């Protein structure tokens, strides 16, 4: 019986990293199926992601890789048989939520959706019909209390990733900080254009010929987190703001689901305020 693992690591860029790591995995009989390494000339950081077929189990292989720790800033070994536990937050618009659930159900996203959090009750019926727990956390409880409940749910559900799928609330700095690298938001504009509220209306007012959406890690700095993925669609003068909203929904759902898949496949590294996707 073999295991499919992803080995990821980051290290200061210097000769010998791959030579330190690859013999350790080879000695256990591991086969490298795919790998990508990238050394950032600006930060001097070296990033690596390797897909391994391993005849030995996670513990055994981990122990061996630990032998190269002198070379590594941080690393982990992920078992692809484990589906990442994902909690989704949503407000009233369900297009990203419906897309994520559908893709998960037909086997297109290697995740387990552990529940849906919302400041509204709008999407309850849909979510529960799919057999998922729905947590209504109204803002009327006060922002602090609401976020405390949100954090408890993340903890209790064992969520490894929280996805803001058009969750129209600004998170507190503390909340953002605690989810650092574990929370992805979809912004409905081609960032850094049109930050803040009503980006499609901003885009319409400016008369752009292309609109877009951006998936990024959530940070305390609103709409400024590391960008994971973006996509765009052409529009003409005849597209009014409301139609941009409609066109944008497809881009948002598509971009967000790619970011979630990459996260679940352990492809995304934070690199300062940017990302490396391997």
In the complex, the residues that contact a second copy under the rule CB under 8 A are 13-20, 22-23, 25-27, 29-42, 46, 93-95, 98, 102, 106, 108, 129, 190-194, 206-210, 212, 226-232, 234, 236-238, 240, 246, 249-250, 254, 271, 273-277
Identify which of residues 184 and 191 has a Cβ nearer to a second copy in the complex. Answer: 191
Report residue 201 as tokens.
Answer: 């209306």
Cα atoms in the Cβ-side hemisphere of radius 13 Å centred on 218: 25
What H or E segment, with its residue span, contains residue 153? helix 143-157
Identify which of residues 162 and 189 has a Cβ nearer to a second copy in the complex. Answer: 189
Give the CA angle between residues 266, 274, 153 to the nearest 5°.
55
Shortest Cβ distance from residue 115 to a second copy (Å)?
Answer: 20
* Catalytic residue positions, numbered: 223
Q: Could you tell me if 61 and 30 are in contact, meaning their C-beta atoms sit under 8 angstroms apart? A: yes
Phi and psi dihedrals of 70, rounded to 5? -60, -30
Q: Could you tell me if 28 and 21 are in contact, meaning their C-beta atoms sit under 8 angstroms apart? A: no
Shortest Cβ distance from residue 137 to a second copy (Å)?
Answer: 23
Shortest Cβ distance from residue 193 to a second copy (Å)?
Answer: 4
Identify which of residues 222 and 232 has a Cβ nearer to a second copy in the complex. Answer: 232
Shortest Cβ distance from residue 86 to a second copy (Å)?
Answer: 18
For 165, which DSSP code? S
Identify which of residues 197 and 206 has a Cβ nearer to a second copy in the complex. Answer: 206
């Amino acid at each position: 019986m073999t295991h499919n693992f992803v080995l990821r690591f980051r290290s200061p860029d210097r000769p010998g990293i791959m030579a330190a790591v690859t013999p350790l995995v080879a000695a256990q009989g591991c086969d490298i199926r795919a790998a990508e390494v990238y050394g950032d000339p600006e930060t001097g950081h070296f990033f690596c992601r390797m897909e391994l077929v391993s005849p030995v189990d996670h513990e055994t292989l981990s122990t061996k890789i630990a032998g190269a720790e002198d070379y590594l800033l941080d690393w982990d070994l992920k078992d692809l048989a484990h589906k990442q536990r994902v909690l989704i937050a949503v407000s009233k618009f369900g297009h990203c939520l419906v897309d994520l659930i559908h893709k998960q159900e037909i086997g297109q996203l290697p995740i387990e959706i552990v529940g849906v959090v919302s400041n509204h009750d709008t999407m309850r019926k849909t979510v529960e019909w799919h057999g998922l727990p729905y947590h209504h956390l109204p803002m009327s409880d006060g922002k602090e209390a609401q976020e405390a409940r949100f954090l408890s749910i993340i903890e209790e559900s064992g969520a490894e990733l929280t996805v803001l799928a058009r969750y129209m609330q600004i998170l507190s700095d503390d909340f953002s900080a605690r989810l650092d690298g574990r929370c992805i938001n979809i912004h409905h504009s081609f960032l850094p254009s049109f930050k803040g509220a009503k980006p499609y209306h901003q885009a319409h007012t400016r008369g752009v010929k292309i609109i877009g959406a951006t998936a990024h890690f959530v940070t305390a700095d609103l709409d400024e987190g590391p960008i994971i993925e973006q996509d765009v669609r052409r529009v003409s003068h005849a597209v009014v703001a409301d139609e941009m909203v409609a066109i944008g929904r497809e881009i948002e759902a598509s971009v967000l689901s790619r970011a979630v898949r990459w996260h679940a496949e352990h492809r995304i590294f934070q690199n300062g305020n940017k990302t490396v996707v391997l």
